[in-house]
Structure 1
Amino acid sequence: MSHVFAAAAPPLSPPAGLPRRLLDVSAALWLALALGGQLLFAAYLVAAYLLPTLQGRLESWNLKLPKGYTPGDAWGNALVGLHLLFALLILVGGALQLLPPLRRARPALHRGIGRAYLIAAATLAVGGLLLVWTRPALGGLGQHLGISLNALLMLAFAGLAWRAARARRIEAHRAWALRLFLAVSGVWFFRLGLPLWLMWHGKPVGFDPKTFDGPFLTTLAFAQTLLPLAVFELLRAARRSARPAFHGAVALLLAALVLLTAAGLFGAFHMLWSPPL
């Protein structure tokens, strides 16, 4: 699993002992945990939205998604439904794309899924922009801007990954594809960050749970995209560095993020996902 991040930032110098190995192991652990957590989120989407939709119970969308289903609004309901469907497909597709055995054993399938992933990501981004500005539910302007930034970066990364692939710049393509994966995962990071905050404080702090607006949620709306990308660039810099101290520091950061991600998954499962599952 460490090969995924390694391919995006090949080292300029040989591995430097234990700190470098810890760096690769920490990155692999986080990625494995993230993929498992995203598949859990995908299972939640199936249980909470896909199955009720197939049963004709569209009103059940509103149990977890304010204004998810609005009687008489065929266009808006279709947009929400397609957005949820593409979110489900992209979660599963992203997990498949990041499996090294699939890339090695079935390169043609890997390329096919990759093309579909890029198209789905762009579609998801455009749909998200339409929803947040034409059918706003809860949340304030700050959150809408954070979501819009996420969508615009998804479009940019998808285009850059596509262009690099067509030019056969494989390392650049993988780097842009991983940035896209992290941006696409923004909604998942948000759903980990909120339970972490609530578990830490024991109650809503920094936002109004009725309006779902406040400085914390505005900050989280931007952090869901920018923080993972910043950590990824730090990891790439560490892999290119020959300094063991740098390797060790980033490895410790990633180890801490493994623990935070596990805690966030625990909170998200018990607070958000477990009832439908």
Structure 2
Amino acid sequence: MSTAPKPEWLLRASAVLWYGVAVAGLWAFGFYIAALYGVGLLGGDLSRWNRVLPEGHGYVAGDLRGNLALGAHLTLAFIVTLGGALQLVPQIRARAPWLHRWNGRLFVVAAVVAAASGVFIALTRGAVAGIYMTLGNALNAALVLTFAALAWRTARARAFIRHRRWALRLFVVINAVWFYRLGMMLWFAVHQGPVGHTAAFDGPFDIFLAFAHVLLPLAILELYLAAGAQGGARAKGAMAALLLVLSLATAAGVLLVVMGMWLPRL
């Protein structure tokens, strides 16, 4: 009798591994948001917001509307980053369905308002990282709003299989800014420098990443969903191997961004 792990088990185990690495990275991102921007707000030092954000995009004296929009965007990003990961824990869904429902409602509302406030900030304060990144962010916002509506609608209809798929898609696209940072740091580390990047964010790699940070994780999710639902043993095994590689890449990206980008700014 063969004792080799079944493809279904390998696929599930590799997905759990990637999820564990991603949660660690996302919560590190949430801590960074709280430590940089939250501490500045609670301590009355709003100039702290300008450590990273360029002039005119952080705290701007006299711009109450823009500052409130930015504060709301950052607060909701913190909520989405920490709370979104909890929605994917099956034990919470099984043992505390009320928590899953209410956290899910908070997650969807926070995601929608975060996306809308991001678009508002871009329209009123201009592009932060060039026109291509602005277009990529607009695409991301449109997908967030679409997936949030479909996740909410399928949940209310108690179509839980379809709800899970839309919720996973929402989870991926709302965390696109996190994927962006990991992708950039990994690229720079592999090439030992900012190859394909310019100060205006219009280099070849900048243009690619402006859209890939939204569409590439989403495409990988679709492959995972297809392999799980319709794939044979080979497809499941190949997807499990891909997720293993992505887990290692995600772990490396998290380490690079924490040590090279987040901690030095705190």
TM-score normalised per structure 1: 0.90
Written as runs of structure 1 = structure 2, the 5 A alignment for 1:177-188 is 177-188=167-178
Contact in 2 for aligned 1:42/1:92 (Cα 8 Å) = yes
In structure 2, C-alpha distance between the alignment counterparts of 1:91 and 1:257, rounded to whole Å: 20
Taking every aligned residue pair, what percent have the same amino acid on both sides? 47
Q: By how many angstroms is 1:147 displaced?
A: 0.4
Aligned to 2:73: 83
Q: By how many angstroms is 1:242 displaced?
A: 5.1
Aligned to 2:158: 168
Answer yes or no: is 1:105 the counterpart of 2:95: yes
- Provide the secondary structure at the position in 2 that maps to 1:182: helix
Q: By how many angstroms is 1:276 displaced?
A: 4.7
Alignment partner of 1:25 out of 13, 16, 20: 13
Written as runs of structure 1 = structure 2, the 5 A alignment for 1:1-277 is 18-66=6-54, 67-209=57-199, 211-241=200-230, 243-276=232-265
- Give the CA RMSD over aligned residues: 1.5
Contact in 2 for aligned 1:238/1:247 (Cα 8 Å) = yes
Q: Deviations over 1:145-203 (max 9, x none)?
A: 10000000000000001110111101111110110000101011011011111111111
Letter in 2 for 1:89: I
Contact in 1 for aligned 2:8/2:236 (Cα 8 Å) = yes
- CA separation of 1:275 and 1:240: change in aligned 2, threshold 3 A: same
In structure 2, C-alpha distance between the alignment counterparts of 1:217 and 1:178, rounded to whole Å: 26
In structure 1, C-alpha distance between the alignment counterparts of 2:259 and 2:37, rounded to whole Å: 18
Task: State the number of aligned residues.
Answer: 261
Q: Deviations over 1:87-139 (max 9, x none)?
A: 00111111221222221121112111111111111101111111122212432
In structure 2, C-alpha distance between the alignment counterparts of 1:198 and 1:139, rounded to whole Å: 17
Q: By how many angstroms is 1:69 displaced?
A: 1.4
Aligned to 1:9: none
Q: Deviations over 1:226-268 (max 9, x none)?
A: 1111111111111123521111111111111011101110110
TM-score normalised per structure 2: 0.94
Judge which range, 72-81 or 18-27, deviates more: 18-27
Letter in 1 for 2:179: F
- Provide the secondary structure at the position in 2 that maps to 1:275: helix
